[in-house]
Structure 1
Amino acid sequence: MENYKGLTEEQAKENIKKYGFNEIKEKRVPTFVLFLKKFWGPIPWLLEFTGILTFLLKKYPDAAAIFVLLIFNGLVSFWHELSAQNALELLKKHLSIKAKVLRDGVWKEIDAKYITIDDIVLLQSGFAVPADVEILEGAISVDQSSITGESLPKSLKPKDTAYMGSFVVRGEAIGRVINIGENTFFGKSAKLVQEAKTKTQLEVVVFELVKYLFLFGVFLIIILLGLSISRGFYLGNVLPVLVVMLLPIIPAALPAAFTLSTALGAKELAKNGVLTTKLSAIESAASMDILCTDKTGTITKNKITVDKILPLGNFQEKDVICYAALASDPKQKDPIEEAIFNYLKDDCYKIEKEDFEAFDPSKKYSTAKIKKDNEEIYIFKGSPKVAPIENEKQENLYKEMASMGLRVLAVWIEKNNKKELVGFIGFSDPPREDSKELIERIRGLGVDVKMITGDTKETAKHIASLVGIEGDVCEAKDIKETCGVFAGVLPEDKFKIVKTYQKMGHTVGMTGDGINDAPALKQADFGIAVSNATDVAKAAASVVLTD
């Protein structure tokens, strides 16, 4: 280990002054301002104009009724928007963690809020990454499924970056803080949640209807005004009549009727396990023609399983999985090793081990030593890149498995100083049992389903073929109508995809379950959080499936 000194407390204070705290700054609008904004916009203008006009004509009961409708609409809208702000609050809670930092040459545990640029931090198994950190020394495996959408842990070595919000599942490393707060990969998601805003279909429909009715009324008034002038009528007597004629044309009760009907609809949906957090979402669902869906945890189970076992030479499938289990630790909560033990049909792995080394991200394998028939056997489980692959045929076998979207591990043994490849195991995050049927039903309703994932093109294409999603496999920089799958996307890419399709004239729905889905869920016309979603995703969505 190198002799790191870290920042001094004085240097840390200077950096905090320069770069700010390691937190997400919220552009908080005062509650009374938020309430007043409910009376500014096309629909409120309609009611305000009609109410003032009615009042000036001394129709006081009618004017009072219109202003009651105005306040009713404002209160309902205000209440729902206030509850929607929970998304950002929940994102901020993910920053409420402790971190080990080197200050004045001494390791200290501090609130992550006070970490700053160039701090030296210690990343350990079981702890969250407190900022974007460049690895300087050591190796770790991190679970970053809630950030990037990748379902499998990722191994990081020196010069790689560990993102804020990810979780260290194995190993230990020392790193340097390179980004904090809003500038982190995680912070960008929070910033996008604040920026996400879309016009509701209700606003568009009501405004268009009122606009044409109003223009029709003005047209009639111009004709009648022209006739009155041509026949010499006194304008002072004619104008009040024309204004009174205009009032019935303006549907003053229409916004309130929409609000009431959608509220009743939300009540019925709640009985069927659909919790509505944004009333306009009910109307948006009816006009939705594109549904963007996250892969991990939505289409798939977000649970790693053994998909394929490929034995080599004289070995059988049982040999491959048993040796893999012996080179694993059932006490570890590693998803790959859990999948191996879940697949086992017997207790062949319960041979006493003379020695065991857990998976080392720097070596890319785990190892165990057993004695069988008075013979010492060393067992290895790890990356095919460090396995004793003897020929091109064996190399092509694991590459073919990888092209199917599988995460491939090799298993090999060493006896009498001779290494021998036992076989390969392919892991996947399989689709839910009902995913294919549900996608077919959605497409039958005229809705185009598009899958969005942070995984590779190979994995995305494989899962899409299993659940019946058609179309090109695209990247976020190449958004087209023909795209059915988007692979390798970041949280801001999901937001961009939803927004681009909205600009193309589509009513867009989005389903998701992770922090990385929150910006897109909030931007979508119809954001759907599944039952096992994070609190952040649920708060950003329009509806939450509770069953």
Structure 2
Amino acid sequence: GYNEVAETHGHPLLDFLGKFWGISAWMLELIIVLSAVLGKYSDLVVVSALLVVNALLSFMQERRAAGVVRTLRRRLQVSARVLRYAIWQVIPARELVPGDIIRVRPGDIIPADVKVLTGALSVDQSALTGESNDTDKAPGEVLSSGSVVRRGEGNGVVMLTGAKTFFGRTTELVQQARPKLHIEAVVAKVVRWLFVIVGALLGVVVVLSLIRGVPLMEMVPLVLVLLMSAVPVALPVMFTVSMAVGSKELTKLGVLVTRLSAAEDAATMDVLCVDKTGTITMNQLAVTGVIPLRATEADTLFAGALASQEANQDPIDLAFLAVAKERHIFDNLPKVALVSFMPFDAKNRRTEAVLQQNGQRFRVMKGAVRTIAQACGLQAAEIEALEARVSDSALKGYRTLAVARGPETGVPALLGLVTLYDPPRPDARQLIATLHDLGVPVKMLTGDAL
């Protein structure tokens, strides 16, 4: 089959007829049957109209929302570079099959579970794991479907597609989930109590009829009267109309409502569980602190920024360049010319650049603390002490890198440590405060503590 998670689309007619199935629909249908038996055609027409209007409103709104979702999916179709018949070609990702050789580059969405054959890559797996930090992948490792390539290029072989991938299995579980709707629980409770009341009244009527010797068939009109008076026949329509109006208002605010009851369900939630990365945080790393060792903060940030490239669009590089610009690190300094640049890869675990300033060449690097410390010739005890400081920062959710500078061919000196973190979104504090004021506590789902 195609490399996609198959959606179960019911026949439109069956979907429409399904609107006549449920507690609220049964309630109206019972009244329709009794009205037809007793010849109360005016009641039959009114209740039938309410039942049909309720079904039409719900069906049309959900079909419209489903159409919008399908249009978005078509526009967001992913393509893949695949080697077939000894020719590289671009095809829709849904046509990939296990065994295909594909090539991925920065910015590509991994279209299937792929085993890396050649090259070294750094991928963003936040859609799968919630982690904002990129993950390095070397030959032999697997790229999960749904990941995004940040740096590096490489070839890989497709291992699993569609619903067999980790991302596909997760999608299937979401599609199979059928939570009980709050509105259904409310209507069921109301109808249940109404039927208890009607049943009690009918019991009294039957007992009195038997005592007085009145034929039970003469009590049927009274049953209809009791049902019509006790059961709110406009209740289902009222719910549907009010939710349709609410969905229209939400649409004006840019919210896509895929089913009418979604707005009502959201309004009745008592706890909101949210993902951390990209939801209450920016999913963009930022420098939060500098720990100078053999240089000032400015010198450490200067070297770290020189060991970064904006063209790579690497989150760490962008964080160093942003803080250097914010603190005017490069202002009033002699011009620096780039001689060479070595980007980060899984093997060397650092970025490195050779630059020239005032006719002299020098080298800067930044990367994993142990890697940079070893490059600087530090002893094992000193490295352990540095990693202990890194562990303290990690407990706060920070990521720590080391920065070094030295001559072009000599041993560099460790300048300092730089901590980075994923800052919260500007509106996160207000959103959480508003929800708390509404009595809805917010729980953050994150894997940082694992």
Residue of structure 2 equivalent to 1:381: 366
| Closer, same or farther: CA 303–86 of 1 in aligned 2, 3 Å | farther
Conserved? CA contact 2:137–2:143, under 8 Å: yes
2:71 & 2:120 partners in 1: Cα distance? 30
TM alignment of 1:47-86, pairs within 5 A: 47-85=28-66
Q: Is residue 2:429 matched to residue 1:436?
A: yes
Q: 2:116 corresponds to which letter in structure 1?
A: I
1:413 aligns with 2:405: yes
Per-residue CA shift, 1:389-424, capped at 9, x if unaligned? Answer: 521222222222222212222212233622321122
2:346 aligned to 346, 349, 361, which one? 361
One-letter identity of the residue aligned with 2:192 = K
- Give me the TM-score of the superposition, normalised by structure 2: 0.88
The residue number in structure 1 matching 2:387 is 395
2:190 to 209, 217, 222: 209
Indicate whether 1:425 and 2:408 are aligned. no
Cα distance in 2 for residues equivalent to 1:119 and 1:189: 23
Amino acid at match of 1:329: Q
The CA distance in 2 between the partners of 1:176 and 1:101, in whole Å, is 10
Deviation at 1:205, TM superposition (A): 0.7
8 Å CA contact 2:57–2:244 kept in 1: the answer is no
The aligned residue for residue 282 of structure 2 is 301
Q: Deviation digits for residues 250-273 of structure 1, max 9, x if unmatched?
A: 211111122233344455566777
Distance 2:206 2:246 in 1: 44
1:308–1:425 Cα contact (<8 Å) kept: yes
SS in 2 for 1:297: coil
Which deviates further from its counterpart, 341-350 or 87-96? 87-96
How far is the alpha carbon of 1:210 from its aligned partner?
1.0
Letter in 2 for 1:319: D
Q: Which residue of 1 aligns with 2:108?
A: 127
* Cα distance in structure 2, aligned partners of 1:110 and 1:245: 65
Q: How far off is 1:276 after superposition?
A: 4.9
Contact 1:95 1:130 (8 Å CA) reproduced: no
Q: How many residues align?
A: 437
> Matches of residues 40-439 of structure 1 in structure 2 within 5 Å?
40-85=21-66, 89=70, 93=74, 96-103=77-84, 107-266=88-247, 276-313=257-294, 315-344=295-324, 345-347=328-330, 350-372=335-357, 375-389=360-374, 390=378, 391=382, 392-415=384-407, 417-439=410-432
Post-superposition offset of 1:79:
2.1
Give the TM-score of the pair, scaled to structure 1: 0.73
Taking the aligned partners of 1:285 and 1:318, their CA distance within structure 2 comes to 48
- Range with greater deviation from structure 2 (143-152 or 427-436): 143-152
Task: Kindly indicate whether the alpha-carbon contact (under 8 Å) linking 2:390 and 2:400 is maintained by their aligned counterparts in 1.
Answer: yes
Partners of 2:304 and 2:186 in 1: CA distance: 60
Following the alignment from structure 2 to structure 1, what is the Cα–Cα distance between the partners of residues 44 and 174?
39
Question: Residue in 2 aligned with 1:495?
Answer: none
Cα distance, 1:93–1:236 mapped onto 2, change above 3 Å = closer
Work out which of the two has the higher radius of gyration on C-alpha atoms and give 1 or 2: 2
CA shift in 2, pair 1:109/1:349, >3 Å? farther
CA distance in 2, matches of 1:175, 1:349: 45
Q: CA deviation at 1:451?
A: 0.9
What secondary structure sits across from 1:257 in the alignment?
helix
Q: Percent identity?
A: 38
- Name stretches of at least 5 consecutive residues in structure 1 with no aligned partner: 1-19, 458-487, 489-547
**Which range moves more in the overlay, 342-351 or 358-367?**
342-351
Contact 1:326–1:349 (CA under 8 A) maintained in structure 2: no
Partners of 2:369 and 2:386 within 8 A in 1: no
The Cα of 1:358 is off from its aligned counterpart by: 2.2
- Assess if the C-alpha contact under 8 Å between 1:138 and 1:362 holds in 2: no
The answer for the alignment partner of 1:471 in structure 2 is: none
Following superposition, the deviation at residue 87 of structure 1 comes to: 8.3
